[in-house]
A and B are shown apart, each in its own frame.
Chain A
Amino acid sequence: MKRYLKSVFALTLICAVIGIALAATNMITLPIIKVNEAAAVQEMLEVVMPGGTGFEIVETENLTLPGTVTEVYCETGGGYVFKLETSGYASGMVILCGVDKNGLVTGAACMSSGETLGYEKTYGNNLVKRTLNSIDSVDTVASATKTTSGYKNAVKDALNAASVLNKSVKGGA
């Protein structure tokens, strides 16, 4: 019995110490990671919405947007950029997708992911100028794998969210 208790105590103590060390490190690194991510998003906004200016965060609390949409930016030309978080083979695939006022994809880029091959970084180029109706005909992002399926569904969510936002703007006007 004493042997078992000693084993449980040792393992628990090691887990606790490691947990405290991780929490302390997280407190140090998390603010830096957030700043880096915000800077990367600002940089990528112009990539997924070429020619876009005056990006501002849109409050979406009163709107019913797809669950993958975590942030929305609007630009002066009437387009939107959506930050989406979805899952491929692994969770935590973050995508930025630009949609213009006509409902066309202006660009999409993968900000981070846990996928093994890294091909998701190139999918965005194949989806430019696609609409909700024409996006399924893109064969190079075929939804045949978990990564392509997650990516394409996230872009569809961005197109749906843009439609909701456009309707709400028209309704409000």
Chain B
Amino acid sequence: MKQESNLSILLKGLLRENPVFVLVLGTCPTLATTTTVIGALSMGIAAMAVLICSNAVVSLLRKFIPDMVRIPCYIVIIAGFVTLVQMFMHAYLPELYDLLGVYLALITVNCIVLGRAEMFAGKNPVGKSVLDGIGMGLGFTLALFLMSVVREVFGAGTFMGMPIPVLYEHNISILTKAPGGLLVYGFLIAAVTAITKGKAPRKKSFSCEGCPNAGNCVTCSEKGAE
């Protein structure tokens, strides 16, 4: 199997395997926290911190964690880091803690974090897993930032809470609501697909190999027999 370079691991999360626009993971916080740029950046940075730490620990313990209980172990590790981030934000950044509300705790069930632990950190050394966490975290933050800029600037007529002349009086308020979020999300996915010219990872990249149910799955065993 071809070895990926460190630079490729770091950069793939930005565009080619962007967790939001290409892998379509973490859709719930993406839609919920992108009504304001500050909220989106806070969520992106908090998720990136959790992603880096959980990737590092999962990779460090990958030979110690038995295969049978790897998913519960990953969830305990991720939930632990999320709670740590929550406690520190509550103590030192109370305004951002209030702004993110319930979505901060929901990073625990963010598919990106569990997905990277399962697909990458559980199979690669610590250094590469940290790079993957940084790359995917930056990709997630970048995606949230792009979406929030469109939604806040055109939906509310402000940027980071500062009113923008003309747009403030003539905003498209649906963009700050859920349907507007989905519209912006769809357009940005289309733009990324156009930029990457459809060279995003194909289905075979997500084979049964990484699936926790592979051992019990009928489809998987049929594929193996072919």
Q: Which residues of A contact B (CB under 8 A)?
A: 3-4, 6-8, 10-11, 14-15, 18, 21-22, 25-26, 28-29, 32-33, 36, 40, 90, 112-116, 118
Contact = CB atoms under 8 A, between A and B. Distances in A.
B80 A22 contact: yes
Contact of A116 (B80, B98, B102): B102
A25 B87 contact: yes
Contacts of A40: 94
B61 interface: yes
B115 interface: no
A172 B76 CA distance: 55
B193 to A, nearest CB: 30
Contact of A32 (B65, B66, B92): B92
A14 B74 CA distance: 10
Most buried by B among A10, A15, A21, A32: A10
A29 B66 contact: no
A11 B69 contact: yes
Do most interface residues of chain B lie in helix, strand or loop, or is the interface mixed?
helix
A114 B84 contact: no
Nearest to A18: B80
B32 to A, nearest CB: 7
Contacts, number: 64
Given A10-B69, A25-B87, A33-B87, 9 more contacts: A8-B69, A10-B66, A15-B76, A18-B76, A18-B79, A21-B84, A36-B91, A36-B94, A116-B101
Nearest to B66: A7
B83 interface: yes
Do most interface residues of chain A lie in helix, strand or loop, or is the interface mixed?
helix
A33 B72 CA distance: 30
A108 B84 CA distance: 31
A132 to B, nearest CB: 30
B194 interface: no
A32 B91 contact: yes
B68 A3 contact: yes
Contact of A10 (B65, B101, B105): B65
Contacts of A6: 66
